[in-house]
Every structure is written in C-alpha cells, then in structure tokens.
Amino acid sequence: MRKIEHIGIAVNSLELSNVLFEKLFGTPPYKQEEVESEGVKTSFFMNGPNKIELLEATNSNSSIAKFLEKKGEGIHHIAFDVQDILAEIDRLKNEGFVVLNETPKKGADNKLVAFLHPKSTNGVLIELCQEMR
C-alpha cells in the first residue's frame, strides 16, 4: 500500500452534505458520479493532498443504505492506493485478512476496488484502489 487514497463518509443527503463540505473546504466537489452497481452517488473533495468521498445510497439494498440504517452518518471506509490490486489481494489473503471481493470491481473515480472485511481489520472497512489503466 502506497498511501491513503481517500476517506469515505456515508451521508443521508449528498446535496446537503456537498453544501456543508464546500463550506468546510472552501471549494466545491471536483467530481460527482453515480455507481449504479453499488447503489451509490458520490462526490469527491480535495483538501490539500487529501481526498474525501461522500457516499449517498440510491437504493435501500446498497451497503451504504445498510450502513446508514445501522450506524448513521459517518466514516464508512478508508481507501488505500495500491500498485497492483491482484497482487495485494493475494498478499493480504495470505496474511489472514478476509477479502470481501477477490475479483476487483469498477469503483468510482476511475478505480478498480476490493474490500477487506472489518472483522479482520479492527472494525474498519478497508478499500484497496488501483487506478484503471
């Protein structure tokens, strides 16, 4: 893992949260997109070298909807940038981590993504991100 790629925050309303974070950072989101396969709409903000992703559920079956129902708004995941996501998945499986999706899938912001189960990472959902080439 090379660096923290972004921090994901689950929100009830992307529209309201965009206003809040725009005030907080003094800049609008640089990108918004919907990831239909995951049932989410996202907004991305830059703050210096750091990236924040806001996630709103678009259907009640999405993992974000379930998270919001159980825990409310807040930090959902920490994403790490990786050079080779397949090699990193294999390495982490061999280290005993529980990988939620062994085949990376297309995520937001032009990334291939895979997740580690929070039960194997002290309660924190970890996302692996590789820039799609």
Q: 72: how many CB neighbours lie within 10 A of its CB?
A: 9
Q: Are 47 and 6 a contacting pair, CB within 8 Å?
A: no
Residues whose CB is less than 8 angstroms from the CB of residue 60 and which lie 6 or more positions away in sequence, other chains included? none
In tens, the pLDDT along 57-102 reads 999 999 999 999 999 999 999 999 999 999 999 999 999 999 999 9
pLDDT tens per residue across span 13-62: 999 999 999 999 999 999 999 999 899 999 999 999 999 999 999 999 99
Q: Six-digit token pair at 106?
A: 């297309």
Q: How confident is the model at residue 1 (pLDDT cuts 50, 70, 90)?
A: confident
Element (H, E) at 96: none
